[in-house]
Chain A
Amino acid sequence: MTMPLPAPENTEISRPYWDALKLGRLVFQRCECGHAWLPARRGCPSCLGDKVQWEQACGKGRLVSWVVYHTAYHDAFKHRLPYNVAIVELTEGPRLITNMVDSHERLACDAAVELRVESDEGIALARFALSPRRDDEQGTGSPARRNRA
């Protein structure tokens, strides 16, 4: 028998995030000052105000970096090796930890990605997939070097 996935802690602060994912929507927090972020916090780390609203992400973003685990630090992942963990920056600004659903060979820093909410062992997770390639864009194999992350 394999260990179940470690479930996220559902707190008063984070519940709207996980509830929205169950409905297939990725949400983030935005302050009246304009600053937007994840994960959920009680107040704004930019202006320290507490007028915070939830906003739905458009689902598009950029792959900042990713790693591939060849060792499992938790029994739930032993049978999933090798698996990836990625950092994605949403178009709206917030960054989050995620998994890419594509094969590792296709991944590239700064590639365009889009939301793919998946239910894994009953937990709704915000995963991402590489965006379909457009003809006017460069292939993902040789991304232009940019010092932006």
Chain B
Amino acid sequence: MRARYVVAGIGHTAFGKLPGRDTISLNVEACRNALADAGIDKSVVDAVLIKVPTSAHQFMYGQKVAEALGIKPRMGGAWDQGGAANITLISFAIMAIDAGQCDVALICYADNPRSGNRAVYGRPRGDDAAYGWFSTAAGYAMIQRRHMYEFGTRPEHLGAVAIASRRHGAGNPNAQLRSPLTMEQYLNSALLVEPLRRDDCALVSDGGAAVVVMSAKRARALGVPAPVPVLGFGHGQTSYDVQFRQSLTSTEAVRAARTAFSMAGLKPSDVDVAQLYDCFTITVLMTLEDYGFCSKGQAGDFVADGAIEIGGALPINTSGGLLSETGMPGMQLIMEGVRQVRGSARLQVPNVKVCLVSNQGGTMHTHSTLLLGA
């Protein structure tokens, strides 16, 4: 299956605060732009796969978006797996095309938690609300504390991740937060749920994004100008919530990456640039470890001295990621991965042969990996 399927087009809306915009219209705008980027008409689309809006689930949402797009797909629907869903849907599309179930798939996501309702991120966690157990951030803070304890990870290591994303997003005209960050500012930033600082946390953003997936053969026939081959993908899910998980410091990135690298016939040292899900800075450190870019517990040293910044050994999140470009859960990373392979990124890494993208959902509950390459 390697390189027989491509991301044919990418598209997105503005990011940030978009008052008055519902998620269906954001999805439609993103899909319109992705179709234009692929140079194709919507009439060839016969699959519409959608990640549910995180902040507002709706019954039959996939069909509502398809109706707004004026498309009667063969396959379609909405999928919930947290932030890992976008890469999962791309791989579902590829497997469905390979099985002859559809030809051209739109995969899209939109949400409006910034101008709408962001209660989902601060929600009580089960019956433990009486103990004050609230928010997504607190689960990541539990994990970060344990990582710091087991491996000696320091605030400066987490700061290096935030600094890289903010540096890369600073010049991105689409980015929601364009102020670069210094280590001093990071270390002095407010504690939110200790040990998490505010600058460790993803933005809360409105916006939508979409990609078009088809076979490489179909892309040639349709004259798609810049198709990007999919080399591999993989998935993993722990299911257990943070407090019941036997290990807080290893993630499903291990299994997801093993599958993806095996499918692509590649290894971590083949990766030229990576877009790593940075919902919280600790996620990036643990993903680097679990993908095998460094050994377990060594990510703090790995990210020091600008190694993950443009010009470093492994530049990551070259458009700003969730910490700077938009808090959208994952699709911005896929789009930037496509740009890096095309050679059209604003902060372009030279001679990109392989770009790795990670998506992650819940509190490290789910993980998916995508390898794109020339």
Given A39-B126, A82-B194, A149-B248; A125-B150 close (CB under 8 Å): no
Given A65-B248, A66-B145; A7-B193 close (CB under 8 Å): no
B194 and A68 within 8 A (CB): yes
Please tell me if B249 contacts chain A, counting CB pairs below 8 Å: yes
A85 and B138 within 8 A (CB): yes
B263 to chain A, nearest CB (A): 29
Given A8-B127, A68-B194; A73-B122 close (CB under 8 Å): yes
Q: Which residues from 54 to 71 on chain A have a C-beta closer than 8 Å to any C-beta of chain B?
A: 64-71
B132 and A85 within 8 A (CB): yes
Given A95-B243, A109-B149; A67-B138 close (CB under 8 Å): yes
B150 and A67 within 8 A (CB): no
For residue A83, which residues in chain B have a CB less than 8 angstroms away from its CB? 132
Please tell me if B59 contacts chain A, counting CB pairs below 8 Å: no
Please tell me if B130 contacts chain A, counting CB pairs below 8 Å: yes
For residue B122, which residues in chain A have a CB less than 8 angstroms away from its CB? 73
B145 and A67 within 8 A (CB): yes
Distance, CA A11 to CA B296, complexed state (A)? 42
B249 and A149 within 8 A (CB): yes
What residue of chain A has the Cβ atom nearest to residue B152's Cβ? A145
Please tell me if A33 contacts chain B, counting CB pairs below 8 Å: no
Distance, CA A143 to CA B248, complexed state (A)? 17
A5 and B130 within 8 A (CB): yes
For residue B128, which residues in chain A have a CB less than 8 angstroms away from its CB? 85, 96-97
B142 and A65 within 8 A (CB): yes
B59-79 vs A, CB cutoff 8 Å, 1 = contact: the mask equals 000000000000000000000
A85 to chain B, nearest CB (A): 5
Please tell me if B192 contacts chain A, counting CB pairs below 8 Å: yes
Please tell me if B259 contacts chain A, counting CB pairs below 8 Å: no
A65 and B127 within 8 A (CB): no
From the candidates B149, B242, B243, name the one contacting A143 in the complex (CB within 8 A): B149
What residue of chain B has the Cβ atom nearest to residue A107's Cβ? B145
What residue of chain B has the Cβ atom nearest to residue A71's Cβ? B192
From the candidates A67, A123, A125, name the one contacting B141 in the complex (CB within 8 A): A67
A68 to chain B, nearest CB (A): 4
A67 to chain B, nearest CB (A): 4
For residue B244, which residues in chain A have a CB less than 8 angstroms away from its CB? 37, 95
What residue of chain A has the Cβ atom nearest to residue B129's Cβ? A6
What residue of chain B has the Cβ atom nearest to residue A5's Cβ? B130
For residue B132, which residues in chain A have a CB less than 8 angstroms away from its CB? 69, 74, 77, 80, 83, 85, 99
B106-124 vs A, CB cutoff 8 Å, 1 = contact: the mask equals 0000000000000000111
A43 to chain B, nearest CB (A): 16
A99 to chain B, nearest CB (A): 5
Contact sample, A vs B, 16 pairs, CB 8 Å cutoff: A14-B127, A67-B141, A67-B142, A67-B194, A68-B191, A70-B192, A73-B123, A77-B132, A85-B132, A87-B142, A97-B128, A97-B133, A98-B131, A109-B145, A120-B130, A149-B249
- Pick the 8 closest A-B CB pairs, nearest first: A73-B134, A68-B194, A73-B122, A97-B128, A6-B129, A109-B149, A67-B141, A8-B127
Residues of B within 8 A of A (CB): 122-135, 138, 141-143, 145-146, 149-152, 190-196, 242-244, 246-249, 296
- 12 more A-B contacts (CB under 8 A) besides A87-B243, A147-B249? A6-B124, A37-B244, A64-B248, A66-B142, A67-B145, A67-B194, A70-B191, A70-B194, A74-B134, A97-B128, A98-B131, A109-B145
